[in-house]
Every structure is written in structure tokens, then in C-alpha cells.
């Protein structure tokens, strides 16, 4: 009856130690079966929000509902329903991969035989089978990240929350994590929330994206729609060889379809969809006016450009 996995209603978190309003009157609805990406720069409030959703941090005010129901802090539903993979390592370094998963699994009262099967299944999916007898401390960084993920999934949760799990992963590990997570979400209508300050990851993996900054949700939509609504297209920065005036801007504007052209000192800034195809006409128009382009920089439309257009600053301030 209910397609919503999580309803976040007017949630605020003010840390009392420093009075920082880390999450500010935030509303958000997350659907069953979707991969939801929470994108924002460091300090935006992603971890704070995630920790409130998983019940590790008490909100200052507001409500969070699962399947339309507000849970009390020690609710067993909370424990069995949700998996949480934190930013930091959440395993025992002096246990082997298998032992780690076995210990965490027993805290969920999973019958032995079933637990064994589940662990093996997860180890296969995350390419950890041949490392299962290794001490966690002896694993490479990428393998430790995968073990961390496995630790949050042993109990086969309905909702999985992943906080910055893609940091420092090589492209290959990243790609099979993508596949693994997509497969997980498409099974049984499961829900995944990922946080990241890396827009390529959020863009590639998420069905919908929420853009967070300073504790506020600035926009929520599919990556495609966000780019089309807020992204104003690719950005071309063309540096010309000498001072120019409005006349050149007007000429450039007319050189191809749907260009938004601005002057920024010696640069001509052109915003448009599919800029690559229009570069020759634009450069011709500049030359016809007696100017030479000495440098051309193209920034393809991305969630980064969406973020810039929403906040006026770059995502990667760190
Ligand atoms: N335990 C804490 N005590 C006080 N302030 C905190 C604490 N955790 C985070 N903050 C502050 O809250 C804001 C949001 O932090 P965080 O949720 O960690 O953001 P993100 O995960 O997006 O990087 C930041 O200004 C941060 O300094
Ligand atoms: Mg964080």
C-alpha cells in the first residue's frame, strides 16, 4: 500500500557542543526499491542525517517514519530492517573476514546454517571468498571497504545506508560495487541510500539525487532532470587575445542555437547544451570579428554544474 520506505519530516539537528545546525528543517521522502544519492560537500550534513535515520543520533526536532511508522530508539525493527555502513571501519581488525561476519551475524540470531550460506553468498558477491581467512588488518584498503559493506548486509536488511563507502576505491572495485548494489536494490524492492561528495558516483548509481548544503536540501530529482532543470548545459570558457566589448558577445550569441553568452574579463562564457558540436561556429564568429581564441575550456554539464548553479560555489571545496 505504501511505496515510501522512509519519510523524513521537518528534521533538524543542532549539535549542542558547538551550536552547529547540521541539518535544518529537512523534508525528504525515499521510495522502496530506489537507490537514493545524497550529494553535498564536506560538512553539508550528510553523515548527521544518515545517523539520525539509522537511529544512532537523536534529532533536535522532527520525525522519521519507516513504512509510515515512527520507531522508538531500541526498536528491533530498526535493528533488523536497516543496514548501516559508516564512513569509518566497522569491523574487528584482529578477526578474520569470515569471523567478523560470523560474529555480527550471530547478534542477529540468524540460524547457523543460514548464516553460513549468507556469508558465503556475500563473500562471493564482493569478491572476498579467497580472502575469508585473512585477518581484517591484513586486507588492502579496497578489501576493507568491501568487508565494511558486508558487515552492514549480513542480516539482509530492507534498507541499506552507505556513508561515503566509495572513498579511495580503485575504478574496478567501484564498478563491481555498482553492480552489486544495483542487484541488491532490484531484489525485493530494497532501498539504498548512499552519501558522497563525489558527483560522478552519485550520478552513475542513483535513481534520484538529493543535493544537500549547509543542512538544507536544495533539490531532489533524477540526475537527468536535475541537469536539465538547474544545469543550463555545458560551460565553455573562451579566452580571447585582446579586450573586447558587447558587440562580440552579441555576435557569438547569434553564431549557433540556444547560447547564453556572458562576458567575464577577457573570457567569453558560453552556456549551452551539447557545446562540443557548436565550438566551430562559435570560434568562427570570434575570428570574423578580428579576435583570436587563445584558450578554450569545456566543462561538461554534470551534477557539479547543478551544484554550482544552486549554490554559486563548487562541490569540492575540500
Ligand atoms: N559530533 C559533532 N559535534 C559537533 N558538530 C558536528 C558533529 N558532527 C558533525 N558536526 C558538524 O555538523 C556539520 C555537518 O557535518 P556532517 O554531518 O559530518 O557533514 P558531511 O557528512 O556532509 O560531511 C559540520 O559543520 C560539522 O562540523
Ligand atoms: Mg560525512
pLDDT at 73 over 60: yes
Question: Using 50, 70 and 90 to split pLDDT, how confident is the model at 1?
Answer: very low
Query: With left for phi above 0 and alpha for psi between -120 and 50, is residue 140 left, alpha or beta?
Result: beta
For residue 132, give Cα distances in angstroms to 44, 114, 159, 161, 196. 36, 17, 25, 24, 28
Interval 19-42: pLDDT, tens = 999 999 999 999 999 999 999 999
pLDDT at position 172: 82
Nearest-ligand number for the alpha carbon of 22: 1
CA atoms within 13 A on the CB side of 66: 20
Check if the beta carbon of residue 101 is closer than 8 Å to that of residue 119.
yes
Say which CATH topology domain 232-300 has.
Alpha-Beta Plaits (3.30.70)
Backbone angles phi, psi at 16, to 5 degrees: -70, -30
Q: Ligand 1 atom 8: the closest Cα is on which residue?
A: 48
Segment 141-172, tens digit of pLDDT: 889 999 999 999 999 999 999 999 888 788 88
pLDDT tens-place string over residues 43-68: 999 999 999 999 889 999 999 999 88
In this predicted structure, what is the pLDDT of residue 311? 85
pLDDT of residue 2: 63
Grid cell, residue 16, equals 549542542
Alpha helices, DSSP H only, in 133-274? 141-151, 171-186, 199-205, 223-230, 246-253
Mean pLDDT of the chain: 92
Name which residue sits closest to atom 3 of ligand 1, judged by CA.
15
**Dihedral angle at the C-alpha atoms of 116, 117, 123, 125, nearest 10 degrees?**
-170
Cα–ligand 2 centroid distance for 88 (angstroms): 10
- Cα–Cα distance for residue pair 204/293, rounded to 1 Å: 34
Q: Which residues line ligand 1 (CB under 6 A)?
A: 15, 17-18, 20, 22, 40, 42-48
Name the segment(s) of the chain with CATH classification 3.40.50.300. Answer: 4-222
- Minimal CA–CA distance to 292: which of 266, 254, 260? 266
Cβ within 8 Å of residue 268, ≥6 positions away: 236, 237, 238, 240, 244, 248, 249, 252, 261, 262, 286
* Separation of CA 287 and ligand 1 centre (Å): 51
Instruction: Answer yes or no: is pLDDT of 317 > 60.
Output: no
List C-alpha distances in Å: 169 to 80, 98, 157, 199, 316.
28, 22, 24, 15, 18
For the chain, where do the domains classified as CATH 3.30.70.980 start and end?
A: 232-300
222-266 pLDDT, tens digit each? 998 998 888 778 889 999 999 999 999 999 999 999 999 999 888
> Is 4-222 assigned to CATH 3.40.50.300?
yes
Work out the average pLDDT over 86-94: 94
Amino acid at each position: 500500500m505504501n511505496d515510501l520506505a522512509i519519510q523524513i519530516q521537518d528534521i533538524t539537528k543542532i549539535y549542542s557542543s558547538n551550536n552547529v545546525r547540521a541539518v535544518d528543517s529537512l523534508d525528504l521522502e525515499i521510495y522502496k526499491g530506489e537507490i537514493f544519492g545524497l550529494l553535498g560537500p564536506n560538512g553539508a550534513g550528510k553523515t548527521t542525517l544518515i545517523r539520525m535515520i539509522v537511529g544512532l543520533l537523536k534529532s533536535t526536532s522532527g520525525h522519521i517514519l519507516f513504512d509510515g511508522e515512527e520507531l522508538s530508539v531500541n526498536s528491533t525493527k530498526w535493528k533488523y530492517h536497516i543496514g548501516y555502513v559508516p564512513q569509518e571501519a566497522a569491523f574487528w581488525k584482529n578477526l578474520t573476514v569470515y569471523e567478523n561476519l560470523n560474529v555480527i551475524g550471530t547478534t542477529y540470531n540468524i540460524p547457523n546454517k543460514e548464516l553460513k550460506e549468507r556469508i558465503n553468498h556475500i563473500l562471493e558477491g564482493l569478491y572476498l571468498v579467497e580472502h575469508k581467512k585473512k585477518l581484517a588488518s591484513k586486507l588492502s584498503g579496497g578489501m576493507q571497504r568491501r568487508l565494511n559493506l558486508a558487515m552492514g548486509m549480513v542480516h539482509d536488511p530492507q534498507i541499506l545506508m552507505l556513508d561515503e563507502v566509495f572513498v579511495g576505491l580503485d575504478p574496478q572495485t567501484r564498478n563491481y560495487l555498482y553492480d552489486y548494489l544495483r542487484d541488491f536494490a532490484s531484489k525485493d524492492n530494497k532501498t539504498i541510500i548512499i552519501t558522497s561528495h563525489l558527483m560522478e558516483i552519485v550520478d552513475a548509481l542513483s535513481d534520484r539525487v538529493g543535493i544537500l548544503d549547509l543542512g538544507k536540501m536544495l533539490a531532489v530529482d533524477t540526475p537527468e532532470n536535475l541537469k536539465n532543470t538547474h544545469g543550463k548545459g555545458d560551460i565553455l570558457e573562451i579566452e580571447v587575445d585582446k579586450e573586447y566589448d558587447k558587440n562580440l558577445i552579441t555576435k557569438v550569441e547569434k553564431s549557433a542555437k540556444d547560447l547564453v553568452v556572458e562576458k567575464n574579463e577577457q573570457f567569453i562564457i558560453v552556456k549551452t547544451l551539447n557545446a562540443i558540436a557548436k565550438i566551430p561556429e562559435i570560434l568562427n564568429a570570434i575570428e570574423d570579428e578580428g579576435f583570436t581564441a587563445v584558450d578554450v575550456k569545456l566543462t561538461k554539464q554534470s551534477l557539479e554544474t547543478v551544484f554550482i548553479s544552486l549554490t554559486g560555489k563548487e562541490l569540492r571545496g575540500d
